Amino acid sequence: MASHQILAGFHAVTARLRHAPDSIKEIYIEASRKDKRMLTLVEQADRYQVKIYAVSMDRLDGLAKGVRHQGVVALAEPRQLAVNIHDVLDVITGPAFFLILDSVTDPHNLGACLRTADAAGVHAVIAPKDKAVGLNTTVQRVACGAADTVPYLMVTNLARTMRELKERDVWLVGTTDQAEQDIYQVDATRSIAWVMGAEGEGMRRLTAETCDELVRIPMAGSVESLNVSVASGVCLYETHRQRSLKGK
């Protein structure tokens, strides 16, 4: 079981069934649940000939290891949607669109970022291996299936990967409270990668220095900063807005 990835909750399990049913080894469901949502999941699993076991809540709790599971847990083979940025860039036909997360270690934040990235049309999310959370069970649940649609690339050297993006004509825009320009002055219709740092510390020095441009998110109230997943959403949808207008 240690070699398997644990998926908990309806969104994570149904998304994997939809995108890669062959990767799921078995599904465990709460034995007492007979509602429509559960029956639909069972029908979907039967369609792909995935084994289903009806078990107790205690058994599900043990499998999910503390993650809220809604009565559904699956054991699956880990998936890798892309190996590196070039795998992603080589199949993009229009302007590239990336989200770089520097030092984001909270699984709830990463899950929310992946969910927003999927909604906004991001081609891949990039993070450093030494300063980031992996695609654990909590991330999969919070991402609501986005972890199976948006490549999450954990790289050994973030600054080097950023330089590789520059060589492929991707404009790197970092966000910081100290910047003079705001995000609405960025030309987001070109190939772009938004670079977000963790709350509190923000981007690391070398990450900020590798960016082509540094901007801030305007803050009109009394709080000093936004949660990284909310800040990512603001920036990603500014890109979506600009590109939508350009396409009209």
Helices (H), the chain: 10-19, 36-47, 57-64, 85-89, 107-120, 137-143, 158-167, 205-210, 228-246
Q: Is residue 217 marked as binding? A: yes
> Which residue do the tokens 């441009």 mark?
213
Q: Is residue 134 marked as binding? A: no
- The residues, any chain, with a CB within 8 Å of residue 222's CB and separated by 6 or more, are none
- How far apart (Å, rounded) are the C-alpha atoms in residues 178 and 188? 20
Choose among 136, 217, 224: nearest CA to 173.
Answer: 217
> Which residue do the tokens 């995108």 mark?
19
Q: Is residue 233 marked as binding? A: no
Q: What is the DSSP string of 117-148?
A: HHHHT-SEEEEEGGGS--S-HHHHHHHTTGGG
CA 157 from chain center: how many Å?
Answer: 19
> Which residue do the tokens 């520059």 mark?
166
Residue 124 CA: distances (Å) to CA of 85, 147, 206: 8, 10, 21
Are 185 and 220 spatial neighbours (Cβ–Cβ below 8 Å)?
no
Residues within the annotated binding site for S-adenosyl-L-methionine?
197, 217, 226
Residues within the annotated binding site?
197, 217, 226
